[in-house]
Structure 1
Amino acid sequence: MNTISPAPTRTLGLICGLVMALTGCSAFDAIETGRPAGERQLNIEGNFGGPTARNIALHNGDLSYAQALGERFAESVPTTINFAFNSAQLDAEARRILTEQAHFIRQFPEVRFSVYGHTDAVGSQGYNHALGLRRARAAVNFLVHQGVDRHRLEALVSLGETQPIVATEMEERRNRRTVTEVTGFVEGHPLVLDGRYAEIVYRGYRTAGEGGGE
């Protein structure tokens, strides 16, 4: 009876393994997350908006507009707040920055945002993962109290200690932070349905210090 040699199968497996090793990614990274290698989110709570705005942007071909608005957001207001050691409490400076963020977000009702929580490296990974989530939750709750629709805050995300600003095992305030980012557009909004992304991105923006109502 003839048998089929396992050599081709082994060879194919070795080739696939080599490709994965060289690219530093996995099928899970490429297919399920849609994020570049090494950027897999550690935890997402809520997913208030259904399918991620990033995936919507990729499928619609409007990711460049989301990136442009993200750059405008970062140029207009601070995107990062910091925390005391082992704390998720918002201090006066954090509340001031989040108030500025909320003012921007309210002027762009067609846009989704995400809040990413981070910690320094002191403590276990599990504890820091939970602490990063508490920090993200504190920032989101404040934004909601400032009049931002919770459904436009795509997710609460904890990255724990995995993405430090300063590489150190010691206490480091700059690593203890949340970052707010533009992640896409609201599915079903009239301007989005019409593909009028440029109209959204380049809309006139009033700073918080200017007079007049919203």
Structure 2
Amino acid sequence: MQMQDLKKMRIAGLMATVLVLSACAGGAQRFYAEAGSEYDTGGFGDATMNNVLVMSGERDYMISLTKKFAADVQNTVNFAFDSAVLDESAKAVLRTQADWIRQFPEIRFRVYGHTDLVGSNSYNKSLGMRRAQAVVAYLSSQGISRSRLEAVVSYGETQPLVFTQEPNEQNRRTVTEVSGFVGKGKPSELHGKYAEVIFREYVGSAVPAQETVQPKVSGSGG
């Protein structure tokens, strides 16, 4: 047998050995891997992790619920110039807010009152407060306990949406936001209320929702 043939045989034998070892390693890896690991895209356990972070206080549950509230319903209403009177469009929006709030009895809310930049700061602060109080009163008339509207805060003219010295309807508004859960304590002491909200949402998501038309908010200028 020629030297060249011997070399070919040795190379072929070496390649066969490598293939056998690779197959064994692959088999061992498959044997010791978790069941279903080939289907895991990296998101398995995210829901549990999110709940743990919320309950430990490492993730702000109020921000998450506030975003959900604003996504589900219109969280602002507007007012006429120098007025804290709710028009019919504002009341229609607040009724949709009340419907949402009733579905989440564990949650408290805060109403922020705002004005445009016309007028003195002290007067606008008082006007913003009266607007927020009008919203609280109307939500209460829809069956929402005042104890769940834990605070009424006025920003007056300090946080305009549109920075202009002219009268502006967009700035004459109230904003309803989630402020926390009913009852006091750290997130870890909420006795599963956050998980209860999420579970109810999960079950509710299986029910076909009826299409609703959100009312438009309009008001006079000035």
Q: TM-score range by the shorter chain?
A: 0.5 to 0.7
Q: Give the corresponding residue for 1:64.
A: 60
Contact 2:115 2:127 in 1 (8 A): yes
The count of corresponding residues between Structure 1 and Structure 2 is 152
Structure 1 segments, 4+ long, off by >4 Å, are 205-210
Paired with 2:158 and 2:129, the residues of 1 have a C-alpha distance of 13
Code of the residue aligned with 1:194 in structure 2: it is H
Code of the residue aligned with 1:179 in structure 2: it is V
Q: CA deviation at 1:209?
A: 7.1
Code of the residue aligned with 1:76 in structure 2: it is D
Contact 2:106 2:193 in 1 (8 A): no
Paired with 2:139 and 2:163, the residues of 1 have a C-alpha distance of 30
Q: CA deviation at 1:62?
A: 6.7
Normalising by structure 2, we get a TM-score of 0.62
What is the root-mean-square deviation of aligned Cα atoms in Å? 2.7
Code of the residue aligned with 2:103 in structure 1: it is Q
Which of the numbers 102, 105, 114 marks the counterpart of 2:101? 105
- SS of aligned partner of 1:96: helix
Q: Going by fraction, where is helix more abundant, 1 or 2?
A: 2
Code of the residue aligned with 2:137 in structure 1: it is N
Which of the numbers 136, 143, 158 marks the counterpart of 1:162? 158
Structure 2: any 5+ residue segments left out of the alignment? 1-53, 213-222
Paired with 1:79 and 1:184, the residues of 2 have a C-alpha distance of 16
Which of the numbers 178, 198, 203 marks the counterpart of 2:200? 203
- 1:140-185 deviation line (CA, Å, top 9, x unaligned): 0000000001001011111000000000011000000000001111
Contact 2:118 2:166 in 1 (8 A): yes
Q: Give the corresponding residue for 2:146.
A: 150
Paired with 2:92 and 2:71, the residues of 1 have a C-alpha distance of 16
Normalising by structure 1, we get a TM-score of 0.65
Structure 1: any 5+ residue segments left out of the alignment? 1-57
